């Protein structure tokens, strides 16, 4: 049996779909949380920045509206920048509207390029530029403007915010934990569901397969029932239709075979009866013209012989067409075979039966079996060859009696092997071809089997019959 059965393939396919779905969901979730994390840092930077601006406004309240030079602002804010940076735990750079650096802290950022001496983006104009954020390496750098009373830019604030991508908001961590638990539960449930579903599909397919194995041409086949209108239901419906067609075909075939057999039988009977009728007719015609009593006596004798021939033909067909009721009784077939072969002692027929072999048979019919097989063996030996027919009766050690009939005849041609037990089939120029068919019929009624092996140097017929219970126990 192949490892990749339908059940295994169904299970693996469903697991593949489940894994792909989880991978895609995981990728989407990762993308979503990265976006959420980035948004979280942007919002946190904005809150920190607003707090810093409010703090700076507190220190520069008296100086607002004054057109201070960078050095004047440095005098106002120079000592406050480190304090503001320490309170808000972010470095801060304060620039003049012209873009010149007034003061900057370096408590949390070691990169000197974050606070350049001149902001070129703001050097060309003193107009309010609003707020913008740029990314430089691991930092988000926000640049905002502090406007004066006349809505003019008084100061420019530059705040670097170091992004820690490993830090996830607490509410997101809790959500991720719940999502992982949900994924584990769904994955285990998916495995269980895939296993149950694959077994369900394969179980019903196995039901159809087992039923198909039981289908017999010559027999009543059981139909299957299925409540659902699905693919398995269609398969079962087609199976039921096939069973109905098979039963009808078997009946038609059996009827056709019976008709064909009786037609062949009728043709054979007509042929066998026609052969003696022709000489009988000629004899009667001659008797009309002959007055000699001796000749009439001879012709009458000839007619009687032909009548006997017709009688034997009728009896042979009668025996084959309707076998008399068999009387099965335990008997020693070694003794029965020896007695039946007494007539052939001087014709090259020998028997080997070293021990009693008891089998349930019909004694009268057993003699007929032996006579048919030995007679066929003798007739298969060509003229001029010394006949040698050996009949062997023994037990095979497996609870069976084995009878073999060997001859040194010309053998049975290979094309005729399949038809040798058919009624009306014969390899001889004369005869009705009922002998071996009769033997096969009787042996099967005794519960045994018959087979043969043949070559150009001779043929062996083998009969196998079950030993009686008493013989088997011994």
* Chain position carrying tokens 């002998």: 435
Task: Check if the beta carbon of residue 85 is closer than 8 Å to that of residue 91.
Answer: yes
Distance in angstroms (rounded) separating the CA atoms of residues 242 and 37: 65
Distance in angstroms (rounded) separating the CA atoms of residues 321 and 327: 18
The architecture (CATH level 2) of 329-473 comes to: 2-Layer Sandwich (3.30)
pLDDT band, residue 193 (cuts 50/70/90): confident
pLDDT band, residue 406 (cuts 50/70/90): very high
100: DSSP letter: B
Ranges of CATH 3.30.450.20 domains, the chain: 6-170
What pLDDT does 431 receive?
43
What pLDDT does 262 receive?
61
User: Does 442 score more than 70 pLDDT?
Assistant: yes
Give whole-number Cα distances, 416 to 240, 413, 421, 426, in Å. Answer: 39, 6, 10, 9
Mean pLDDT of the chain: 77
Q: How does pLDDT run across 83-98, given as a tens digit for each residue? A: 888 888 888 888 888 8
Ranges of CATH 1.10.287.130 domains, the chain: 231-321
* 3-class DSSP string for 205-246: HHHHHHHHHCCCCCCCCCCCCCCCCCHHHHHHHHHHHHHHHH
What pLDDT does 217 receive?
62
What pLDDT does 219 receive?
58
Of 462 and 267, more confident: 462
User: Does 392 score more than 90 pLDDT?
Assistant: yes
pLDDT band, residue 231 (cuts 50/70/90): low
Specify the length of the chain in residues: 474
User: Does 411 score more than 70 pLDDT?
Assistant: yes
Of 322 and 42, more confident: 42
pLDDT band, residue 294 (cuts 50/70/90): confident
What pLDDT does 269 receive?
64
CA-based torsion, 137, 139, 140, 143: positive or negative: negative
Share of the chain above pLDDT 90, in %: 9
Provide the 3-class DSSP secondary structure of residue 102: strand
What pLDDT does 474 receive?
55
User: Does 346 score more than 70 pLDDT?
Assistant: yes
What pLDDT does 265 receive?
63
What pLDDT does 43 receive?
84
What pLDDT does 433 receive?
47
What pLDDT does 407 receive?
92
Those residues whose C-beta lies under 8 Å from the C-beta of residue 117, and which sit 6 or more positions away, are: 100, 101
Class of domain 231-321: mainly alpha
131: DSSP letter: -
Q: How does pLDDT run across 244-262, given as a tens digit for each residue? A: 787 777 777 766 766 666 6
pLDDT band, residue 298 (cuts 50/70/90): confident
Q: How does pLDDT run across 196-214, given as a tens digit for each residue? A: 877 777 777 777 777 777 7
Q: Which of 61-75, 79-93, 186-200, 342-356 has the lowest mean pLDDT?
A: 61-75
Token pair in block for residue 5: 């059965």
Instruction: Classify each residue of 369-385 as buried b or exposed e, where b means 16 or more C-beta atoms within 10 Å of its C-beta.
Output: bbbbbbebbbbbbeeee
Name the β-bridge partners of 359: 331, 467
Mean local confidence (pLDDT), 53-67? 75
User: Does 472 score more than 60 pLDDT?
Assistant: no
Parallel/antiparallel/unpaired status of strands 329-332 and 139-147: unpaired
Q: How does pLDDT run across 129-152, given as a tens digit for each residue? A: 566 766 666 788 888 888 877 777
Q: Which of 71-85, 219-233, 336-350, 445-459 has the lowest mean pLDDT?
A: 219-233
Task: Check if the beta carbon of residue 438 is closer than 8 Å to that of residue 368.
Answer: yes
Report the predicted TM-score, pTM, of the whole model to 2 decimal places.
0.39
Q: How does pLDDT run across 10-31, given as a tens digit for each residue? A: 778 888 888 888 888 878 877 7
Mean local confidence (pLDDT), 380-405? 89
Distance in angstroms (rounded) separating the CA atoms of residues 425 and 153: 123
Mean local confidence (pLDDT), 71-80? 78
User: Is 6-170 in CATH node 3.30.450.20?
Assistant: yes
């Amino acid at each position: 049996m192949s490892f990749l059965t339908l059940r295994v393939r169904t299970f693996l396919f469903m697991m593949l779909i489940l894994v792909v779905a989880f991978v895609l969901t995981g990728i989407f979730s990762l993308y979503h949380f990265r976006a959420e994390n980035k948004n979280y840092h942007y919002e946190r930077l904005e809150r920190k920045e607003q707090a810093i601006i409010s703090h700076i406004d507190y220190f520069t309240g008296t100086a607002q509206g004054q057109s201070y030079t960078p050095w004047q602002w440095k005098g106002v804010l120079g000592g406050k920048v480190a304090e503001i940076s320490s309170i808000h735990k972010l470095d801060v750079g304060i620039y003049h509207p012209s873009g010149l650096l007034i003061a900057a802290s370096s408590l949390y950022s070691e990169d000197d390029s974050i606070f350049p001496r001149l902001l070129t983006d703001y050097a060309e104009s003193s107009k309010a530029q609003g707020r913008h954020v740029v990314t430089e390496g691991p930092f988000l750098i926000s640049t905002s403007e502090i406007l004066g009373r006349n809505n003019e830019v008084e100061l420019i604030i530059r705040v670097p915010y170091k992004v820690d991508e490993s830090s996830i908001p607490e509410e997101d961590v809790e959500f991720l934990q719940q999502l992982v638990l949900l994924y584990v539960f769904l994955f285990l449930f998916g495995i269980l569901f895939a296993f149950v579903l694959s077994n369900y599909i394969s179980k019903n397919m196995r039901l159809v397969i087992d039923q198909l194995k039981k289908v017999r041409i010559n027999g009543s086949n059981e139909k299957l029932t299925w409540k659902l209108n699905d693919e398995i239901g269609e398969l079962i419906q087609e199976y039921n239709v096939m069973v109905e067609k098979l039963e009808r075909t078997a009946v038609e075939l059996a009827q056709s075979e019976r008709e064909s057999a009786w037609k062949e039988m009728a043709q054979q009977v007509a042929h066998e009866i026609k052969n003696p009728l022709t000489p009988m007719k000629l004899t009667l015609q001659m008797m009309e013209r002959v007055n000699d009593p001796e000749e009439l006596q001879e012709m009458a004798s000839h007619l009687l012989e032909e009548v006997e021939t017709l009688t034997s033909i009728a009896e042979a067909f009668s025996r084959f067409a309707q076998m008399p009721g068999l009387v099965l009784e335990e008997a020693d077939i070694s003794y029965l075979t020896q007695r039946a072969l007494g007539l052939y002692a001087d014709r090259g027929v020998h028997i080997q039966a070293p021990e009693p072999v008891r089998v349930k048979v019909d004694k009268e019919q057993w003699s007929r079996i032996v006579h048919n097989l030995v007679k066929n063996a003798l007739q298969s030996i060509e003229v001029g060859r010394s006949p040698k027919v050996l009949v062997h009766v023994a037990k095979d050690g497996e609870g069976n009696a084995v009878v073999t009939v060997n001859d040194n005849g010309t053998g049975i041609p290979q094309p005729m092997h399949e038809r040798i037990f058919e009624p009306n089939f014969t390899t001889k120029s004369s005869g009705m071809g009922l002998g071996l068919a009769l033997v096969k019929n009787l042996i099967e009624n005794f519960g045994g089997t018959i087979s043969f092996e043949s070559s150009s140097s001779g043929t062996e017929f083998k009969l196998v019959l079950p030993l009686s219970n008493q013989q088997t126990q011994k």
